[in-house]
């Protein structure tokens, strides 16, 4: 199945079950929202999970572009991406977790053709603060014939320190060549594809947990991961949405392995972030974008400092903007990359001798870092990269 077919199958399955389309949001949350980026499909729905009626009703479905900086250090492996698409479904105080899991099982097996024997689930096993184990989810999986493992904090989902949260049940698919063995917590050939969260609690700034007015369900499934699993593959980087970037970066500059994955992920992610109107800057979102680009350039320039993002064909830009439903022209975005690359080159040219001079006096102190930052505009991570470079 292509990603477009995977999306269509997901949405049609939920339409048949009475869900209506929830509009997709930008990666940039509205003003006043404390988070930098939309991190999950539920994020824009937070007011409705807290009790406000949604104009689309109590059953919703959509595809949402998401960005997770928490995964930034994991990017480079085969299954994590900075920007990805999340297939999501919601019951706003309507059906319960047992129904959500049963419908999810039907979609994975009948809709996507995954053999039931390749599935494993995890559920919340309770904690020390008086929250009991999720017996309903466990019993539902057992009735469906899916093995289930009860875990602790791994099966509690929240979108941040405060807000709606609750126990979740994660669904894993076996990606090994041999028949399935072990459990998700003990064998990473079990790959998580879908998470069903019972949004029943509200975490307050003082840490208190109170019941939400409605008991809701929030589910999310990463499109690129599902595509990987359906292809019987072990890497999201061979998927349709990554291929133009992996191709361009690999062919042009001969990168392989983790270097290739970091550069392909960061450039594709940067295009989506730019597509939602963010521009590189020294703080907040702009700084996340800047870090993505600088990290990609640092990898590229390690072997050959003459490499330039200007050499990239526009096909990757076009493909990504289409897949992420962003009606934006790629040309101006490439011009932003060009400017940012130019700025970074200048900064390195000026920064390298300065860092070397300071280092010659001994290990860098906090005042050294401040001086390099405040007087010369060299951020700490860049100084550290230059130090690492200098050996």
Q: Which of 3, 22, 38, 40 binds ligand SER (CB under 6 A)?
A: 40
Task: For tokens 């920064």, name the residue.
Answer: 351
Confirm or reject binding of residue 41 to ligand SER (CB under 6 A). Answer: yes
Among residues 42 and 271, whose Cβ is nearest to ligand SER? 42
82 binds ligand SER (CB under 6 A): no
**Of the listed pieces 34-42, 104-112, 246-254, 273-281, which binds ligand SER according to CB under 6 A?**
34-42
CA 152 to chain centre: 22
List CB contacts of 51: < 8 A, sequence separation 6 or more: 212, 213, 214
| Per CB under 6 A, 163 contacts ligand SER | no
Counting contacts by CB under 6 A, is residue 355 touching ligand SER?
A: no
Residue 134 interacts with ligand SER (CB under 6 A)? no
Q: Is 62 one of the binding residues for ligand SER (CB under 6 A)? A: no
Cα–Cα distance measured from residue 209 to residue 211, given in angstroms and rounded to the nearest whole number: 7
Q: Which of 220, 239, 330, 379 binds ligand SER (CB under 6 A)?
A: 220
The distance of closest approach from Cβ of residue 68 to ligand SER in the complex, given in angstroms and rounded to an integer, is 9
Contact status: 155 vs ligand SER (CB under 6 A): no
- Cβ density class 12-50: b for 16+ within 10 Å, e for less: ebbeebebeebebbbbbbeeeeeebbbbbbbbbbbebbe
64 interacts with ligand SER by CB under 6 A:
no
Among 38, 100, 140, 219, indicate the residue that binds ligand SER (CB under 6 A): 219
The verdict on 195 binding ligand SER (CB under 6 A) reads yes
Can you tell me which of 94, 149, 218, 341 binds ligand SER, judged by CB under 6 A? 218
Question: Does 29 interact with ligand SER (rule: CB under 6 A)?
Answer: no
Shortest Cβ 303–ligand SER spacing (Å): 37
Helix/strand/coil (H, E, C) string of the chain?
CCHHHHHHHHHHHHHHCCCEECCCCCCCCCCCCCCCCCCCCCHHHHHHHCCCCCCCCCEEEEEEEEECHHHCCCECECCCCCEEEEEEEEECCCCCHHHHHHHHHHHHHHHCCCCHHHEEEEEECCCCCCCCCCHHHHHHHHHHCCCEEEECHHHEEECCCCEEEEEEEEEEEECCCCCCCCCCCCCCCEEEEEEEEEEEEEECCCCCEEEEEEEEEEEEEEHHHHHHHHCCCCCHHHCCCCHHHHHHHHHHHCCCHHHHHHHHHHHHHHHHHHHCCCCCCCCHHHHHHHHHHHHHHHHHHHHCCCCCHHHCCCHHHHHHHHHCCCCCCHHHHHHHHHHHHHHHHHHHHHHHHHHHHHHHCCCCCHHHHHHHHHHHCCCHHHHHHHHHHCC
Q: Which is nearer to ligand SER, 90 or 324 (CB)?
A: 90
Which residue stretch of 217-225, 234-242, 253-261, 366-374 sits at the interface with ligand SER (rule: CB under 6 A)? 217-225
Nearest residue to ligand SER, scored by beta-carbon proximity: 220
Taking contact as CB under 6 A, which single stretch among the options 17-25, 40-48, 287-295, 345-353 is the one that binds ligand SER? 40-48
Nearest approach in angstroms of CB 324 to ligand SER is: 18
Between residues 47 and 305, which has the closer beta carbon with respect to ligand SER? 47
* Residue of 27, 42, 101, 348 interacting with ligand SER (CB under 6 A): 42
Is residue 157 close enough to count as binding ligand SER by CB under 6 A? yes
Which is closer to ligand SER, CB of 88 or CB of 125?
88
* Least Å from the CB of residue 269 to ligand SER: 17
Closest distance of CB 147 from ligand SER, Å: 21
Q: Which is nearer to ligand SER, 86 or 333 (CB)?
A: 86
Q: Which is nearer to ligand SER, 165 or 255 (CB)?
A: 165
Applying CB under 6 A, the residues found at the interface with ligand SER are 40-42, 88, 157, 195, 197, 218-220
């Amino acid at each position: 199945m292509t990603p477009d077919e995977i999306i269509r199958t997901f949405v049609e399955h939920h339409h048949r079950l009475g869900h209506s389309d929830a509009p997709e949001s930008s990666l940039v949350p509205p003003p006043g929202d404390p988070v930098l980026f939309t991190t999950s499909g539920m994020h824009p729905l937070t007011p409705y999970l807290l009790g406000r009626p949604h104009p689309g009703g109590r059953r919703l479905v959509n595809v949402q572009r998401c960005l997770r900086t928490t995964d930034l250090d994991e990017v480079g492996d085969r299954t994590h991406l900075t920007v990805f698409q999340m297939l999501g479904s919601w019951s706003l105080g309507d059906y319960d977790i047992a129904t959500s899991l049963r419908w999810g099982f039907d979609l994975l097996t009948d809709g996507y053709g995954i053999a039931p024997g390749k599935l494993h689930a995890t559920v919340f096993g309770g904690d020390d603060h008086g929250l009991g184990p999720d017996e309903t989810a466990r019993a539902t999986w057992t009735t469906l014939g899916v093995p289930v493992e009860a875990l602790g904090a791994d099966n509690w989902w929240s979108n941040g320190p405060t807000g709606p949260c609750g126990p979740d049940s994660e669904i894993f698919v076996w990606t090994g060549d041999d028949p399935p063995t072990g459990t998700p917590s003990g064998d990473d050939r079990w790959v998580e594809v879908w998470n069903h969260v019972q949004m029943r609690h509200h975490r307050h700034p003082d840490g208190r947990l109170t019941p939400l007015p409605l008991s809701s369900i929030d589910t999310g499934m990463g499109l690129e991961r599902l595509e990987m699993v359906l292809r019987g593959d072990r890497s999201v980087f061979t998927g349709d949405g990554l291929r133009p970037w992996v191709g361009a970066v690999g062919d042009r500059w001969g990168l392989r392995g983790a270097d290739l994955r970091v550069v392909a992920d960061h450039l594709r992610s940067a295009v989506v972030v730019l597509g939602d109107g963010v521009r590189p800057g020294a703080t907040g979102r702009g700084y996340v974008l800047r870090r993505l680009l600088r990290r990609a350039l640092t990898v590229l320039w390690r072997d050959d400092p003459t490499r330039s993002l200007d050499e990239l064909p526009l096909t990757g830009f076009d493909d990504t903007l289409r897949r992420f439903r962003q009606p934006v022209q790629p040309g101006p975005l490439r011009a932003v990359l060009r400017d940012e690359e130019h700025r970074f080159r200048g900064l390195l040219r000026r920064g390298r001798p300065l860092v070397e001079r300071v280092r010659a006096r001994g290990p860098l102190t906090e005042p050294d870092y401040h001086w390099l930052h405040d007087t010369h505009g060299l951020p700490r991570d860049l100084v550290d990269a230059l130090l690492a470079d200098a050996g």
